[in-house]
Amino acid sequence: MENLEKTEHLNTLFSFYGKLLTDKQIAYYTNYYHLDLSLQEIATLFNVSRNAVHSQLKSVENILLNFEDKLKLVETNQKRIKILDLMEATKDLKYIEDLRKLDE
């Protein structure tokens, strides 16, 4: 996965699962991915080593991927959007059944 795609994917996961992270994990993540601070800048800000920030970010990445692997909220949401777009484009109500199946 390319860097931009990876960041986009992580940001999507964060929007769904971010509230499940600790305050420190949220702070490191938002400083790195949203505010575009370097690892060193974050380390200085929190008075920790650069390696500690790197480890924490890798941990957050794994946690977010694990949440999605188990809960599949992002995947289900993307399926819903696709079905709703098809329904809107075709005005075909048969897609309502597809939406109901997602809830099972």
- The CATH number for 1-71, chosen from 1.20.1440.230, 1.10.10.10, 3.30.420.480, 1.10.1050.10, is 1.10.10.10
* Mean pLDDT (whole number) for 13-37: 97
Query: 45 to each of 5, 11, 12, 53, 59, how far by Cα in Å?
Result: 27, 22, 25, 11, 19
35-59 pLDDT, tens digit each: 999 999 999 999 999 999 999 999 9
* DSSP, res 72: -
Q: Domain segments of the chain: what residues?
A: 1-71, 72-104
User: For the chain, what percent of residues have pLDDT higher than 70?
Assistant: 98
CB 64 within 8 A of CB 9: no
Tell me how far apart the alpha carbons of residues 58 and 2 are, in angstroms, rounded to a whole number.
16
Average pLDDT over residues 71-93: 88
Q: Which helix (H) or strand (E) holds 47?
A: none
- Note the pTM of the prediction, 2 decimals: 0.84
